[in-house]
Amino acid sequence: MDARQLEEKLRAAGYRLTPARRAVIQALGEAGRELAPREVLAAARARCPGLGRATVYRTLRLLAQLGLALPLPAPGGIRYRLLAGDLHRLVCRGCGAQLPLDLCPARGLTARLAERSGYLIAGHVLEFYGLCPDCQRRLSCVE
């Protein structure tokens, strides 16, 4: 799902596409990775100067609530990314390193869940978190 499709979904959900909302969506869309709220604020202000901090934070929460953005725990706080299809990865809780996974063990599960729940399932997130080899080594040196 790109920024334009997201804007259409926002409108379909009954929300006006204000310049502030558009700036936040485009900031997330262009980054192509998770952004901390203060990074979203900086990028959105480049398009829409004078944009308030509270507006940006509120917009991020709205997008998450509508399922258009995904809040992800990261070292240093929640980060956001646009929800674009499936997400599979390993994440290090120590340094934030990410390793994308190219396998999906959930294919059959999606169809079963859709059938059982009646949901129209648009995607899924499969995240394994822990400590990367570097962080494990660092920790074992401290002891």
To Zn ion, the closest distance from the beta carbon of 89 in angstroms equals 10
Helix (H) or strand (E) holding 92, with range, is strand 87-92
Applying CB under 5 A, does 95 fall inside the site for Zn ion? Answer: yes
Position among 78, 104, 125, 139 found at the interface with Zn ion (CB under 5 A): 104
Q: Which is nearer to Zn ion, 47 or 81 (CB)?
A: 81
Pairing label, strands 69-74, 98-100: unpaired
DSSP H/E element including 99? strand 98-100
Strands 87-92 and 125-130: parallel
Q: Is 92 in the site for Zn ion (CB under 5 A)?
A: yes
Taking the alpha carbons at both ends of the chain, their separation in whole angstroms is: 46
Nearer to Zn ion, 58 or 88 (CB): 88
- Contact flag: residue 86 with Zn ion (CB under 5 A): yes
**In the complex with Zn ion, which residue's Cβ is closer, 71 or 96?**
96
Binders of Zn ion among residues 117 to 136 (CB under 5 A) are 132, 135
Q: Which of 1, 55, 89, 94 binds Zn ion (CB under 5 A)?
A: 94
**Closest Cα to residue 27, out of 1, 52, 48, 53?**
48
Dist CA 53 CA 24 (whole Å)? 11
Please give the residue ranges that form the binding site for Zn ion (CB under 5 A): 86, 92, 94-95, 97, 104, 106, 132, 135
